[in-house]
Amino acid sequence: MAVSGSSYLLIFAAEIGDKSQLVCMILAAKYRALPVMFGSVLAFMLLNTLAVTFGLAIASWVPEALMTAIVAILFAIFGIHALRVEDEPDDDNVEIKKGHSIVITTFLLITVAEFGDKTQLAVVALSSTSIPVAVWIGSTVALITTSALGIWAGRTVLQRIPITFIHRISGVIFILLSLFAAYNAYMALQ
């Protein structure tokens, strides 16, 4: 339960204002919310399954202390990157050809946008040092939650809170988690 909760909080914070949430906002502004939501859920289930599987494979090859140190470094990099984000231009125009299913379009756009993204790498790292099923549950629910926020409330929130501020909050969280992982790596070497 604790692993799912911490995975949820980390991925939720990292994903707020990210590409996939913006994709959901744009698509939901043009199309019905339910197909957009369904497509995003399918994409995140696939992506997190791949990430957890990869993280589990890495865990069997890499010693725990080294993996925890790598997690600390990755989280520090994500945190620094999030703190350095400048205001992003709002020219995310999504072209959708007529006749395509909104579910398939959403699935493909999110799969491409998130493949290798910081949240997927975070899921890989978390699942290599924690209970993989719990990481999958927490991270998938977090990504579904952020998609729902993007679809139903994201437009309103982003008009009142600058996206740069949200990125900076997630940057601070990543850096704190990096320090915690570095401490765990140090303790594993003792």
Residue type, 77: I
pLDDT at 170: 66
DSSP code of 31? Answer: S
Q: What are phi and psi of 161, to 5 degrees?
A: -120, 125
Into how many domains does the chain fold?
A: 1
What is the chain's mean pLDDT, rounded? 78
Instruction: Give per-residue pLDDT as tens, 38-76.
Output: 999 999 999 889 888 887 777 677 777 777 777 778 778
pLDDT at 89: 46
CA 13 to chain centre: 8
User: DSSP 3-state assignment of 59?
Assistant: helix
Whether pLDDT at 90 is above 90? no
Q: Which residue has the higher pLDDT, 131 or 96?
A: 131
Q: Which residue has the higher pLDDT, 41 or 88?
A: 41
> How many helices and strands, by DSSP H and E, does the chain display?
9, 0
pLDDT at 153: 58
Instruction: Give per-residue pLDDT as tens, 145-176.
Output: 999 988 875 556 555 667 677 667 767 877 88
Determine the structural domain holding residue 119 and report its residue range.
Answer: 2-189
